[in-house]
Structure 1
Amino acid sequence: MKKTEPAAVIWPFPKWPKSQAAEPVKIGQRPKSGDIADE
């Protein structure tokens, strides 16, 4: 239970932050990179 306590405190959503952080970063960088490459 001690291993779950620190893990839950540091990462309450192991799938939320990873999926949410990876989605906005990829989506935000994709359109920006495309705009620069197109220009």
Structure 2
Amino acid sequence: MLSRPRLLVVSLPESGAPAAQRAPVFPPRPPRAPPPELELSR
């Protein structure tokens, strides 16, 4: 969990339901692929 700080924030919606069920902010990607934030920061 410490290696996924963003997931913690995304999975804490006001309604209490998983963010994935409400509205996915980004499309699912392979676990081995680097997060888009890292690619944009480069």
Which TM-score tier does this pair reach, normalised by the shorter chain? Answer: under 0.3
TM-score, reference length from structure 2: 0.26
Higher relative contact order (CA 8 A, sep 6+): 2
TM-score, reference length from structure 1: 0.28
More helix by share: 1
Greater radius of gyration (CA): 1
